[in-house]
Chain A
């Protein structure tokens, strides 16, 4: 007779295996399904050709997506990193501004992206007269990213041990030097992972972009042109394109996965390099 304890551990063990199996299978299943469909739909003209209803090429969209990632991060990352530095290193603990910024960032982090989309369309699109454009889209998504990057950078900065700061101040270093030479480099891995996560959010955003970036299927020639990111293109193709559109959507999905993969590899290479430089 197996004891009660044995039965419990038996059940637990297989529950763990089962959970692992279900998770792995569904992830691999989704990935495989998209990739297979995508690859089956592949023709070189789909990447390189001009977009038309007979040849729904997505080269323009890959380009737009990359531009969006770079520009959005250029706006959001410095702003939120400096803001986090202010919140953690400069602001006094009982400062009113800090309380307000905290409240605002926490609230913003929980708001659905479509609300940002509406705000961006009205403020950047109409009031600032940027219309449907890459610029409007980037500014909108940048605002969405602020709370996320601020919060994670704050965490990264807080996890830098105080003894590093004391060591620096003890040598007569100013606050500025301590922050930029000691604190930020030590927090860099955490900050980089925040930035990488936000790339994912830029790539995956649709709701906020439909109102701001717009849906024009064309190679943009300036930052004030409307275009489609890959995710927006998938959404529009699935919605309007019938069965053929769904094929295009799968193909776009496969390309999207490839872009994310490349980006992660690049970022972790970069992250490893930064970490190494600092340690050696």
Chain B
């Protein structure tokens, strides 16, 4: 297991956002989180690389193991953890600097300074994110001047540039048009040979198309978790069935 969540509870002040969550994320697979708005998908995703540390009121019990190591343990270095688990957000968030500097920001953060090395990483990351051809002549241009779909793939490339093992994506295509969405879906399927991927999505079709396993969340609990094919064709729980057939609520 690449990531193992054990009996985890999460509170924002007194509000419990996650209730007794257990989850196994396997290597080189795509794991999808689905469920209605406010059920805690993003909260769990942000807990995996400790982005929740930034929320002052957030408190966690239970365990999250990454390669067997407790990520909330004393020996864990948060910056190294986040380098190993890249994150892509719902809204594309390139930094207000050039395309090149966006990609180079992560490697520079982790001590790579030589121009030759950086050039190579930038090219490789953009190629892996299937956006090199579109951007190779615009490396010095502002990253804010490219389209939303390109920005999101740039953000994926930026995450890849620090050579992570896991990529966490929070509704990465919800702000994009169908063509950009397809490009990113194809890209993720390609990337799973090298990376472990966790994706939050509101688009059930997307979960069914690209993921190997799916977790269905409701009110902070995981109602059902299993192989995507089985969960979508033979859901065990009535609530899951209602949700995926659109009869929810």
Contact of B56 among A93, A182, A278 (CB under 8 A): A93
Q: How many A-B residue pairs have CB under 8 A?
A: 72
User: Given contacts A177-B109, A182-B95, is CB(A171)–CB(B86) below 8 Å?
Assistant: yes
Set of chain B residues within 8 Å of A169, measured between Cβ atoms: 51, 54, 82
Tell me the nearest residue of chain B to A174, going by C-beta.
Answer: B79
With most chain B CB atoms within 10 A of its CB, the pick from A163, A167, A182, A185 is: A167
The reply to whether A171 and B93 form a contact with Cβ atoms under 8 Å apart is no
Is A170 positioned at the interface, with any CB of B under 8 Å from its CB? yes
Stretch at the interface among B113-121, B128-136, B139-147, B181-189: B139-147
Is B97 positioned at the interface, with any CB of A under 8 Å from its CB? yes
Set of chain A residues within 8 Å of B142, measured between Cβ atoms: 279-280
The reply to whether B93 and A164 form a contact with Cβ atoms under 8 Å apart is yes
Tell me the nearest residue of chain B to A177, going by C-beta.
Answer: B109
| Bound Cα distance A92, B57 (Å) | 11
User: Given contacts A174-B79, A279-B142, is CB(A167)–CB(B93) below 8 Å?
Assistant: yes
With most chain A CB atoms within 10 A of its CB, the pick from B80, B109, B144, B159 is: B109
User: Given contacts A171-B105, A172-B109, A174-B79, is CB(A278)–CB(B96) below 8 Å?
Assistant: yes
CB contacts under 8 Å to A, within B174-213, are none
Set of chain B residues within 8 Å of A164, measured between Cβ atoms: 93, 95-96
| Bound Cα distance A164, B86 (Å) | 15
Chain A's interface size range is 20 to 34
Contact of A168 among B95, B98, B110, B140 (CB under 8 A): B95
Residue total for B at the interface (Cβ-Cβ under 8 A): 31
Is A239 positioned at the interface, with any CB of B under 8 Å from its CB? no
Is B49 positioned at the interface, with any CB of A under 8 Å from its CB? yes
Is B162 positioned at the interface, with any CB of A under 8 Å from its CB? yes
User: Given contacts A279-B142, A279-B144, A280-B140, is CB(A171)–CB(B89) below 8 Å?
Assistant: no
Is A106 positioned at the interface, with any CB of B under 8 Å from its CB? no
The reply to whether A170 and B86 form a contact with Cβ atoms under 8 Å apart is yes
Tell me the nearest residue of chain A to B82, going by C-beta.
Answer: A172
CB contacts under 8 Å to A, within B148-170, are 155, 158-159, 162
Set of chain A residues within 8 Å of B56, measured between Cβ atoms: 92-93
Sample (28) of A-B pairs whose CB atoms are under 8 Å apart: A92-B56, A161-B93, A163-B91, A164-B93, A164-B95, A164-B96, A165-B54, A166-B51, A166-B89, A166-B93, A167-B89, A167-B155, A167-B158, A170-B49, A170-B82, A171-B86, A171-B105, A171-B106, A171-B159, A172-B80, A172-B81, A172-B162, A173-B109, A182-B95, A185-B96, A280-B98, A280-B140, A280-B142
Q: 5 shortest A-B CB distances, which residue pairs? A: A172-B83, A170-B87, A163-B93, A171-B106, A172-B82
> Could you list which residues of chain A lie within 8 angstroms of chain B, going by C-beta atoms?
92-93, 161, 163-174, 177, 181-182, 185-186, 278-280
Q: Told that A166-B87, A172-B80, A279-B142 touch, could you supply 15 new A-B pairs with CB distance under 8 A?
A: A164-B95, A167-B89, A167-B93, A171-B105, A171-B106, A171-B109, A171-B158, A171-B159, A172-B81, A181-B105, A185-B96, A278-B97, A279-B96, A279-B97, A279-B144
